[in-house]
Amino acid sequence: MGVARIGHVRLRVLDLEPAVHHYETVLGMTVTHRDEGGDVYLKAWDEWDKYSVILTEADRAGLDHVAYKVAADADLDEFRGRITSRGVDVTDLAAGALHGVGRALRFTLPAGQDMVLFADKEFVGTDVGFLNPEPWPEGVRGCAVKWLDHCLLMCELNPEAGVNTVDATSQFLQDALDFRLVEQVMAGPDHSVRAAAFLTVTSTPHDIALVGGPTSGFHHAGFFLESWEDVLRAADVLARHKVKVDVTPQRHGITRGYTTYFFDPSGNRNETFGGTGYYATPDRPVTTWTEDQLGPAIFYHTGEVLPSFVSVYT
Amino acid sequence: MSGRGSHVVTLAGTGATFACPGDQVVLKAALAAGQRAIPSGCHGGGCGVCRVRVLAGPYRVGRMSRAHVTEADEAAGFTLACKTFPEGALVVGLAPSRT
């Protein structure tokens, strides 16, 4: 019983084919399906379900929804009750409403983004398979990301007006969906305002991140790489393809991850995220960062928060 | 002038100028000239931080998020500098997004 892991993001893009080129050639994902509505579905080489990214052309960039996979179909019934009992409306999606996915639940988080829960998605296998596999496949393009790792949602935060959707969304994910709080940033004079929250359902430091901002939105989708060397090589790939880079390779204090941030052609931020940081087991104490240490918490090497990092999102 | 030559872009307020080729977007030309007045964001028409208003001069635009430049905004000269190509001398003013 429970949420097992992140499943996919459906991203709105302004122009479809440049976006497909970016996720295929730069990130190194593979197109696995195009539907009659024009949406394009992609997976990374070490993912076994049919897709982790859906690209849909729209008149604005940003996140359409983020989906998490639950352990078993019956879990959807229990989560449906736990979500609605908290006053959140749930839309039932029939099997096939999302391509290759069984029945699913769609609802809106307190910060305003839509989340989907599903149990089954069409299995296609990884590029190396599960029988006597090689450790990695030959011929993967670009950054050769391994899998979609997490997403970061910007959440409206205005403490003076009593609005804190970081806290509300974090509490909802913890209470209704059994996400565990792993790290947090506490702001305000007595460190009483939760300005960021990093939550997990697995043993990685974050399966979802929530950061406060003037408006809610989509900050980034993070894609996993193993090592510093992989993250540095990925930055070379970005430069080679003249991708707009937001932050060159750095370490995060939060999660201890190795990072590079960049934008897809419609301005949706991507991250190549490396390292396992630590094991976020259920008994691990919550790590707290105070607002005055926000610089090294986010960018450990420079110790300074780039203005664009908190002001630029879709 | 066709879009092929280089055009002078003037920032309203400071009066600072920089050159922008017709095949280059205003934001990149500004950054290349060391002009930092226009905020630099995603460079993809998605985030809206480089929103400006063209006060004078001809230009063409690429696809921009309607969350930041509505059709009415576009008709009134609002645009995103990362998606705006000059087709003649331009005067632009900063116009931060409402969202």
State whether A153 and A113 are in the same domain.
no
**Domain around A63:** 3-118
The verdict on residue A141 lying in a domain is no
Q: Residue B98: what pLDDT? A: 58
State whether A184 and A293 are in the same domain.
yes
State whether A35 and A164 are in the same domain.
no
pLDDT for B99 beyond 60: no
The verdict on residue A94 lying in a domain is yes
pLDDT for A127 beyond 50: yes
State whether A170 and A306 are in the same domain.
yes
Whole-angstrom Cα distance, residue A63 to residue A148?
Answer: 15
DSSP letters along B12-52, please?
A: TTT--EEEEETTS-HHHHHHHTT--SS----SSSSS-TTEE
The verdict on residue A136 lying in a domain is no
The verdict on residue A195 lying in a domain is yes
% of chain B exceeding 70 in pLDDT = 94
pTM metric for this prediction: 0.96
Q: Residue B5: what pLDDT? A: 87
Query: pLDDT tens digits for A82-91?
Result: 999 999 999 9
The verdict on residue A124 lying in a domain is no
Q: Which of A150, A183, A219, A313 is flagged as catalytic?
A: A150
Q: Which residues pair with A66 in a beta bridge?
A: A9, A115
State whether A158 and A275 are in the same domain.
yes
State whether A179 and A91 are in the same domain.
no
State whether A91 and A151 are in the same domain.
no
State whether A70 and A152 are in the same domain.
no
Q: Residue B3: what pLDDT? A: 47
What is the identity of the amino acid at B96?
A: P
Q: Residue B73: what pLDDT? A: 97
Q: Which residues pair with A157 in a beta bridge?
A: A164
Burial B73-96 (b: 16+ CB within 10 A, else e): beeebbbbbbbbbbbeebbbebbe
Q: What is the mean pLDDT of residues A112-138?
A: 98
Q: What is the mean pLDDT of residues A281-298?
A: 96
Query: pLDDT tens digits for A49-63?
Result: 999 999 999 999 999
The verdict on residue A277 lying in a domain is yes
A302/chain B closest Cα distance in angstroms: 20
Does the beta carbon of A310 lie under 8 angstroms from any beta carbon of chain B?
no
Which of residues A118, A135, A156 is at a domain's end?
A118
Does the beta carbon of A26 lie under 8 angstroms from any beta carbon of chain B?
no
The verdict on residue A265 lying in a domain is yes
Q: Which of A219, A252, A258, A313 is flagged as catalytic?
A: A252
Does the beta carbon of B61 lie under 8 angstroms from any beta carbon of chain A?
no
ipTM of the complex: 0.93
* A51 has catalytic annotation: no
Q: What is the CATH number of the domain that holds A46?
A: 3.10.180.10
State whether A163 and A21 are in the same domain.
no
Domain count, chain A: 2
Q: Which of A156, A206, A258, A313 is flagged as catalytic?
A: A206
The verdict on residue A132 lying in a domain is no
State whether A77 and A218 are in the same domain.
no
- Name every chain A residue with its beta carbon within 8 A of the beta carbon of B99: 215
Query: pLDDT tens digits for B22-70?
Result: 999 999 999 999 999 999 999 999 999 999 999 999 999 999 999 999 9
Whole-angstrom Cα distance, residue A207 to residue A227?
Answer: 19
State whether A236 and A197 are in the same domain.
yes
State whether A154 and A299 are in the same domain.
yes
Q: How many beta-carbon pairs under 8 angstroms link A with B?
A: 68
Q: Residue B4: what pLDDT? A: 64
